[in-house]
Every structure is written in C-alpha cells, then in structure tokens.
Amino acid sequence: MTTLAPADPAVLARSLLSARAVRARAHQMLALAEADRIPELTVDLSRLEAAADETIATMCNAYPALQIPPHARWRHFSAGGIDRWPLLVRDTPALADPVEKARAAADLAIVSVLLDAGAGPDWAYADPASGTRIARSEGLAVASFDAFVAGLFSADPARPFRADVAALSGLEPARLADAFQAGPANPLVGVDGRAGLIARLGEVVASRPDVFALKDTPRPGGIIDALMAVAENGRLPAERILETVLDALGPIWPSRLTLAGVPLGDCWRHPALVTGDATEGLVPFHKLSQWLSYSLLEPLGWAGLTVTDLDGLTGLPEYRNGGLFLDTGVIALRNPADATRPLTVDDPLVVAWRALTVALLDRVAELIHTKLSLTADELPLAAVLEGGTWAAGRRLARRFRADGGPPLVIVSDGTVF
C-alpha cells in the first residue's frame, strides 16, 4: 500500500493566497452553516430572494439601463458631484501618455485603497471642492485624492501626482491626520494603523524592483508595468492581478497568522472548518487586496490591456455586503446580544460572518441573473457589487440604524475593514 507524503505546509500556505481559496473556503463555511454547524450564526436561504430584490431595486434606481461599472475606488472619487480624476488628467500634460496615466492612477488607487478601512461613525471630510462634508468611504476617497494632488505621497515637488518610496516610508501619523482633517473633534479610526500601512508600502515597493521599478524609479504604480509584462496578447485574467498584489504587497500587512513562514494576510481562524491538513481552520479573505485588484481594472484598461474573467475575483467581505445579509435575515445571530458587544476581526463570529458573506454574494448574483434574464458576462459580480449589494447594504443600514452604521460593532485597527 502506498502512503502519500503530507503536503508541504509552505505550499499549502501559498495556496491560500488566491481568490480561488477565498471562494472555496467561503462555500465550505456556507455548507457548514446550512448543516447548522456554525455556533455563532444561522442561515436562512429562503430569505435570499429578499436580499436579491433589495439589490435589484437599488441597482435599477442608480443604473436604470443596468450599464454598471465595476466596483472600484474610482466611483468614490466622484463624491460630491465632481469627477475629480478626469479633471486632473485634463489639466496635467504629463498624464497624456496612456501608460504614465495608468501608473499615476495605480499610485493613487493603491494608496487610497490602503487608507480605506472603515472611518468610524464620527468622522467626515470637509471637501473644499464641493463645499460639503463627506463621510465614510467616499470621504476617505476624497481626502486621499486631495492628499495625492497636494503631493503628500511624493518627495519630488516637481512631480506631485505620484507616490514614491521616500514620501511613503516617511509618512508620519500627524501628517496623515492633518490631511484627513482628523482630530478630537473629528475622530478617524486607526490613524496610526493607516500611516503604518503606508510606511510599510514604501518599504515593500523599495524591496521589489522586479514589480515596482521595471520602467521607472520604485513606485506603487510600477505594478502596471509588471502586469503588462505578464499579459498575453494584451489580455490579463483578473485573478492574475490579485496574485501579483498578494505576492508583491503581502508583506505590508501587520503581523498576523503565518504558516511555514508564509504571511497569510487577511486570513483568520474558525474552529468549525476542518480540512485535515496544516491549513485546518484557516479562512482567507484578502478583502483590501481584492478591492485593490478591482480598482486596478480601469488603470490597466487605460494602459491598453483587456482584463478577462472578472468573476475570478470574489465578493468583498466587508460590513456593507455583510450587513445586507444580516439586515435581510439571510444570516442571523444565535445570540442577539452579539449585535451590541465589540467584536475584533479575529472573533469566530466575525470570521464566519465574512465567510458567509463571500459565498452568499455568489448565490445572490446567480439569483439576480435569473431575475433579470442576464448572464454573468452581461452582469459580472463586479457590477453586482457596485450596483449593487454594497449600496443596498448601506441603504438598509440607514433604514434600520439611526447612524447608518453596520449591524455589528467591529473594533478596527484601520487595516482590515
């Protein structure tokens, strides 16, 4: 009888650094929930139609022709009724070159996404362009855009509209707080964590010239050149973007779980997930990395690439999408008191909630396709998210809670949600 050698733990660890692993383990968790084996949560798939209907109503209101762009940071840069990026490109001759435009866009997108973890309920950005106060993710987007335009992320005053190693590595929390108008009267969650993440971004960019310095000095936007180099006939699968992001930017995340020396990033444990190998209990998400990958779709298009297989990426396990399923009753807390106690991101309840959210986003997208008689190619998951589940989750939050906040109280360090 032949005995198979146990799989190399390092190989198993690297297998978790993919969208396929996120999707597979999320659906394993959903199967456990359907079997009533998740101690913290239950699922009622009969309520999935209600979630789909809420999403369709939101989509049709915002996009009556159902011509929906992909879920990406670029939507938020138009908050306050001002389409900021096209205006910057129009007024900046250096951005006339398509590839340089894409590099600058990637500089902006990468920095902005890394600064996008939940702002908290009490922070807002006084936008000088629109004269309005913009809160939450849109406020963070506009604040990061203005900081980019002001040259906060560039050490070269002659070239402000870029990000470079010196400025990123040396970013101090006080300067970031000032740019984001944060202080005692306008508290922003996790300022130190955000600044630390940007500083680590600078260090990682400097350490990987094979990704970030193929055609220029090291800059986050150099990832455009790396992705162009691996495209075949101008075509690039979306999952390849995430693989590159996880490989190149993985070391920026704070020290969390590792396996065989491999940092696992946005990956957490849930005891219900049994695999019988070294990855026992590990549930990957890579939320900000996937959000970043979605946000690179348009810059890559501006550089002349066609991104294929958009549904190779997964839905994003954050509190708007997750809130949609809690607020429509698809997911329910076994202990209602859990809705009011502070929860850390490694709490099994949060891990289960996020995993179920990823799997249920696939299920609700399928239901929406059926209801609207559209295919996944006609309405990819990226459009369902944008149109969409994220906006429907926000709308329900405003309906059910006075502050419009999430249905769970998450203690964030500014690097996950």
| Structure tokens given for 266 | 């946005």
Question: Could you give the 3-state DSSP secondary structure of residue 369?
Answer: helix
Apex 17 CA angle, 11 and 18, nearest 5 = 115
Query: What are 168-218's pLDDT values in tens digits?
Result: 999 999 999 999 999 999 999 889 989 998 999 999 999 999 999 999 999
Task: State residue 414's pLDDT score.
Answer: 61
**DSSP per-residue codes, 227-281:** HHHH-BTTEEEHHHHHHHHHHHHGGGSPS--EETTEE-SSEEE-TT---SSTTTT
**DSSP state at residue 407:** S
Q: What is the pLDDT along the chain (417 residues), one digit of tens a residue?
A: 444 445 789 999 999 999 999 999 999 999 999 999 999 999 999 999 999 999 999 999 999 999 999 999 999 999 999 999 999 999 999 999 999 999 999 999 999 999 987 788 899 999 999 999 999 889 999 999 999 999 999 999 999 999 999 999 999 999 999 999 999 999 998 899 899 989 999 999 999 999 999 999 999 999 999 999 999 999 999 999 999 999 999 888 776 899 998 889 899 999 999 999 999 999 999 998 999 999 999 999 999 999 999 999 999 999 899 999 999 999 999 999 999 999 999 999 999 999 999 999 999 999 999 999 999 999 999 999 999 999 999 999 999 999 888 999 988 766 676
Question: Could you give the 3-state DSSP secondary structure of residue 42?
Answer: strand
Task: State residue 6's pLDDT score.
Answer: 56
Nearest to 211 by CA among 251, 253, 238: 251
Beta bridge partners of 409: 342
CA distance between the termini of the chain: 49
Query: What are 245-264's pLDDT values in tens digits?
Result: 999 998 887 768 999 988 89
**DSSP per-residue codes, 103-134:** HHHHHHHHHHHHT-S---TT-EEEETTTTEEE
Question: Could you give the 3-state DSSP secondary structure of residue 47?
Answer: helix
Task: State residue 331's pLDDT score.
Answer: 98
Q: CA 167 to CA 179: how far, in whole Å? A: 14
Task: State residue 412's pLDDT score.
Answer: 73
| Structure tokens given for 144 | 């990061």
Contact of 319 with 357, CB cutoff 8 Å: no
Task: State residue 4's pLDDT score.
Answer: 40
